[in-house]
Amino acid sequence: MMFDKPSISIIGLGYVGLPLAVHLAKHFKVTGFDINQDRISELKESYDRTGEISSPELKNSTLHLTSNEEEIIGHDIHIVTVPTPVDENNEPDLRPVHMASETVGRIIKPGNVIVYESTVYPGVTEDDCGPILAKISGLECGKDFFLGYSPERINPGDREHTVDTITKVVAGQNKAVSELLSHVYGTMNGGKIFIAKNIKTAEAAKVIENAQRDINIAFVNEISIIFQKLGISVYDVLEAAGTKWNFLNFQPGLVGGHCIGVDPYYLAHCAKAFGHDPKVILSGRSTNESMSNAVSAAIHQTLKARNPDLAQPRTLILGLTFKEDVPDLRNTKVTDIIAELRSLGHLIDVHDPMADPKEAEEFFKIQLKPSLEMSEAYDCVVGAVPHEGYLNLTNTSIEQLVKPSGLIADMKGMWRTRQFDEKYSYWCL
């Protein structure tokens, strides 16, 4: 099972799989597989819609790209990097990882190692995926093929903590697999490897990383609402508190995306399956899920306080993606702000230079404004996502978007140090 120079297939070429495939391809023979033919075609043209890998990097990579599963037959290691979302009831949706396991099961050979990077609750790799692989392949898990786990730690848009620089946690079904994964990933990232005690431990480590962040953000979100009622800015409070050496620097806001807003539900599902009520985890989730309602209500009330007769405010939302400077629309909570403001009578337009207009239309039925050149000013402008382009807007550019007596609502405090003309109202957390 120890391969001198293993060949590797990567199953799923999204935010996680593509960077991993490109960096591993610098050291090994790697094939990247995705069922989305459009995605493969774009990548072959050296275009990554996620913005994680540049065109020159793709063009110069030895990575082989395919949507034909027959082309991953014969590889030694298969790494699964498909998403693990939740359903409409916030229960784990394991269908993508199950389907990927079926795909791998059809092509694996004796001696192969199958590694999962998808975020799951403890036990999924061995109790769910292993049996699927065995059933489809007709091979015996732990004898004919072997399992491994190495949790992904991709932070979309982060150019510092990339997959080839961060510490990778690895775990194998046995010592030999762990050593193999340590070698493979260590070749890519300079040997920054932590070998977890076992696969379940590695799965658990990943799922608590994001649950911990979710809980910390929930605390800051809750105090931001309290301080709003007291008439003080949470940002001013955090700035003062941050002078203490061990204060944790978390910021308030909407918690979307495919990790922090999702992974705690996986941990909660696992806890409940074993008879434990995960009060802290779900309380954090509840607080963060309710943040959009609190923000929308505050924006509406602030606008109406100065314009009580305004029945249908025209409101411009700046930003739709789940975080700044990325095109990722997955699980964005800005859509909740839009829906809640609409329910309060607002007529909404949306602008976001980072988001794909086709995806915004397909997923949310939102037609993005192509530019900030407006024929008529708005009653309210909401800075929802602090893209660099919005951070760099001048006061004049912002004020030109808003009618006199209108509201500049700054959800992330990106303009909080500015002094706007007194004819405009300004609100932030």
Using alpha carbons, select from 291, 389, 307, 290 the residue that is nearest to residue 346.
307
Supply 340's token pair. 């809640």
Catalytic pick among 129, 259, 270, 428? 259
What the block records as the tokens of 63 is 């990575």
| Distance (Å, whole) CA 339 – CA 292 | 10
Residue 259 appears among annotated catalytic residues:
yes
The candidate with the shortest Cα–Cα distance to 382, out of 422, 342, 328, is 342
Sign of torsion, CA 111 117 122 128? negative
Q: Give the Cα separation of 397 and 424 in Å (integer).
A: 13
Nearest Cα residue to 25 out of 222, 193, 164:
164
CA contacts within 13 A on the Cβ side of 414: 24
Closest CA to 57 of 152, 155, 163, 154: 163
Residues 6+ apart with CB under 8 A from 219: 250, 284
Q: What is the 3-state secondary structure (H, E, C) of 102-143?
A: HHHHHHCCCCCEEEECCCCCCCHHHHHHHHHHHHHHCCCECC
- Structure-token pair, residue 351: 């602008």
Helix, coil or strand: residue 168: strand
Strand residue runs (E) in 340-394: 347-351, 368-369, 378-383
What are the residue numbers of the active site? 259
